[in-house]
A and B are shown apart, each in its own frame.
Chain A
């Protein structure tokens, strides 16, 4: 997030797109509800009528995967109707003219045909967002899990730049991170493009720095993503893999492909808390201590660096991840893994990462700092881009609308979109083992609009076979007006409804994020089951 969570109570206009926040980030959503209660105007764009829409002044039920069209048309209206922050654009941005000329063609009427929402509502959304003194954008995986995920994000950036809604309190572009420490995993350099602290793997100075620190020449090129690595496993080039705390088989798209990839490896080592579909395929399974048993650090969605603390001893012989990996490294003769505690590891991270350089184990005790914290006397950075952008000026991008990788046709005439539900977390390795959760959510079901239930010969509470180009899954049907006609929804949380057998039609070419939000299917009634 460019802005802190507390800023969510301060905007005059709120634009939520592709974020089912009351279910996926419920505590953050309470702040938006309070902002609305105090008079903020909220726009919610989502294919499903999610609970957040009930709090919105304007709800835009856009067709799945049509975000770029909506955002281009909003840009068109902002430019056409004089809602450009001229001072900000002149002082802080670059290539505005190209953007201004580009959006001329993309009228709300044009977008209406793609997004399937009225042109007047697109105009209204642009006016609410563009005329507010402080306007903030919030998004989640509904924006990124598309073949055009990067385009979607850059389209949102264009809107913030054109209205000057960056680097100020109560404004900004705010992705809500879905996992407790997914921000931290990136901060720590567990990504193929960056060393710790987002120092680029193809920057010669950074390569030299880490080669010296780690005592080995590191190749000066970006690595490959997980998606590519799994492909190479299928092709026989990838031979050995370490998977730490991920149930890859269930959480990733195209499960058959994923299983095939892991089976093709000569050597698979999995570190986890529980036996999973992925540990079942491993050659070596190493038991880790988990939450409540491990001292360490998480960074949350607002870049706040916070301590986690052990409250109870390890289960059996389980060990912290850092200990397990250090033991493995020592057996391979690697120097620099002589850590005695989590503190040792974290303090080393701070010493090699400019965004954490002002932090250390003791300094983060109260969770008071948002990175970057470049020096010991730095107060932290709750709001990014206040004084300028990292690369000088905010760059406008010229973005074109593209259809999803797969679109509905005669054979697969229904849009399937996937997501999460309030009571279940990911593949339920934790919530599924917590008593009481089953009382509220005991099984997965396919959410189908009641009109479609009747039209397709289904029964509420009966079963349907859902088939995509990759697979077929039988699941219970639940009639629900949350999904619009022609679109169905399902979560990937339940192992017996492996919806990721169906997904995986395409990937964003830049991030290799799978298009989990769009999957054309056909839905057929099945008797009994």
Chain B
């Protein structure tokens, strides 16, 4: 890599760029807010939506900034009246493709969908609002028809009436997951995002990782489990944490309303996963607030049955049993198994309990099975 620092001129400002960077990436880094719909930083640039066009001095026509590499001395304009008018027209065309945009009531922002649909689901509505776009100007034929009833899978809603054919779902499945479950059929107004033989996702190579849902910029692909929580009152909150399943340690955001978990979304900047998840991390979260959870301590009664107890009674019983075993049989009659599922603070205190309590190393965890 070259050590010499090259620069381009971005709206007149001289800024550095790294070898191989696109004009869009440089613009993003310098907060130019160039609009896009087909762009996901994890995917190969695609250049389909044309919203990210910029003017490059010396070139007759605007170019898509996501597919144009920065070159030394390049003079780029990211926001001119001509570009903004062009982007608005493009957005009106795109909006006319989406049911939610085309059918938006007068005065409403076209493309509005519930944010529970997915991580990127607000992108179209956000741009429509910024450019004051309505879906009416090009109202008429639309591509894509929804598969709400045809696909009974419990995770992924395929509401293609909202689809704008950006191909992000197709590309994330191929480029990031390597599963190639999603493809495109037909052209023009007959374009349809589909699977092999136009089947259900469960009959395809889909693994239900949910990546197509989370990259969809319109909510056409949506999280069905989250959508069941649309009517839960409260503001959406996100809490950054780590997935509770395997040892990869994917970063996720737990999405809550009030005291209820309503969804999980991948953390796009998670160091282990870079936005990826699998079916377990993405969709298997409702065990947390499940009715089967233990909500009180239990002790075994005289009748041999477990019965609910207070913390004081249960802890006294627990302590008494260890005290008795130690008094009657010594330290080597006592053992503890810590969890590889609980956090450090659990394992640390369990091992300390044994070592500080009984002076042995009679401690293990669940890694041997």
Where the two chains meet, the residues of A that have a C-beta atom closer than 8 Å to any C-beta of B are 5, 22, 24-28, 30, 33-34, 36-37, 55, 176-193, 195-196, 201, 210, 214-219, 221-227, 229, 237-246, 248, 251-253, 266-267, 269, 272-275, 279-280, 282-288, 290-302, 304, 306-313, 315-322, 324-329, 331-332, 334-337, 339, 342, 345-346, 348-349, 367-368, 422-423, 425, 429-437, 439-440, 511-514, 516
Given the complex of chains A and B, what is the CA–CA distance between A519 and B369 in angstroms?
15
Within 8 Å of chain A (Cβ to Cβ): is B149? Answer: no
Contact between chains at A219 and B359 (CB < 8 Å): yes
Given the complex of chains A and B, what is the CA–CA distance between A342 and B334 in angstroms?
26
Contact between chains at B251 and A511 (CB < 8 Å): no
Contact between chains at B338 and A300 (CB < 8 Å): no
Within 8 Å of chain A (Cβ to Cβ): is B272? Answer: yes
* Chain B residues, Cβ within 8 Å of A224: 335, 362
Within 8 Å of chain A (Cβ to Cβ): is B277? Answer: yes
Our pick among B293, B296, B321, B367 for the contact of A284 (Cβ within 8 Å) is B321
| Least CB distance, B295 to chain A, in whole angstroms | 2
Contact between chains at A422 and B349 (CB < 8 Å): no
Which chain A residue lies CB-closest to B264?
A292
Which chain A residue lies CB-closest to B322?
A240
Within 8 Å of chain A (Cβ to Cβ): is B347? Answer: yes
Chosen A-B contacts, 28 in total, with CB atoms closer than 8 Å, are: A27-B273, A176-B248, A190-B347, A193-B361, A215-B356, A217-B359, A219-B360, A223-B361, A242-B350, A274-B294, A285-B306, A286-B297, A296-B342, A301-B246, A302-B249, A302-B272, A309-B241, A315-B294, A318-B295, A321-B339, A321-B342, A324-B315, A325-B346, A328-B322, A329-B353, A331-B318, A422-B280, A514-B369
* Chain B residues, Cβ within 8 Å of A308: 241-242, 343
| Least CB distance, B214 to chain A, in whole angstroms | 13
Within 8 Å of chain A (Cβ to Cβ): is B279? Answer: yes
Contact between chains at B343 and A191 (CB < 8 Å): no
Our pick among B283, B300, B364 for the contact of A192 (Cβ within 8 Å) is B364
With A180-B245, A223-B361, A436-B225 in contact, is A422–B278 under 8 Å at CB? Answer: yes
A-facing mask of B219-254, CB < 8 A → 1, else 0?
A: 000001100000000000101111111111111001
Our pick among A185, A218, A240 for the contact of B367 (Cβ within 8 Å) is A185
- Which of B26-34, B122-130, B189-197, B255-263 is the interface stretch? B255-263
Where the two chains meet, the residues of B that have a C-beta atom closer than 8 Å to any C-beta of A are 152-155, 175-178, 202, 207-209, 224-225, 237, 239-251, 254, 256, 259-261, 270-273, 276-281, 283-290, 292-300, 306, 311, 314-319, 321-326, 328-329, 331-353, 355-357, 359-369
| Least CB distance, A53 to chain B, in whole angstroms | 14
* Chain B residues, Cβ within 8 Å of A423: 279-280
With A285-B297, A313-B259, A430-B284 in contact, is A327–B311 under 8 Å at CB? Answer: yes
Chain B interface mostly: mixed
Given the complex of chains A and B, what is the CA–CA distance between A284 and B356 in angstroms?
22
Given the complex of chains A and B, what is the CA–CA distance between A286 and B208 in angstroms?
35
Given the complex of chains A and B, what is the CA–CA distance between A297 and B249 in angstroms?
11
With A292-B261, A329-B357 in contact, is A240–B334 under 8 Å at CB? Answer: yes
Given the complex of chains A and B, what is the CA–CA distance between A319 and B94 in angstroms?
51
* Chain B residues, Cβ within 8 Å of A326: 349
* Chain A residues, Cβ within 8 Å of B246: 24-25, 176-180, 301, 425
* Chain A residues, Cβ within 8 Å of B288: 290-293, 312
Our pick among B225, B284, B363 for the contact of A190 (Cβ within 8 Å) is B363
| Least CB distance, B367 to chain A, in whole angstroms | 5
Contact between chains at B364 and A190 (CB < 8 Å): yes
* Chain B residues, Cβ within 8 Å of A193: 361
With A244-B339, A283-B299, A306-B242 in contact, is A186–B344 under 8 Å at CB? Answer: no
With a 10 A CB-CB cut-off, give which of B155, B245, B355, B366 has the most chain A CB atoms.
B366
| Least CB distance, B347 to chain A, in whole angstroms | 4
With A329-B353, A331-B316 in contact, is A312–B272 under 8 Å at CB? Answer: no
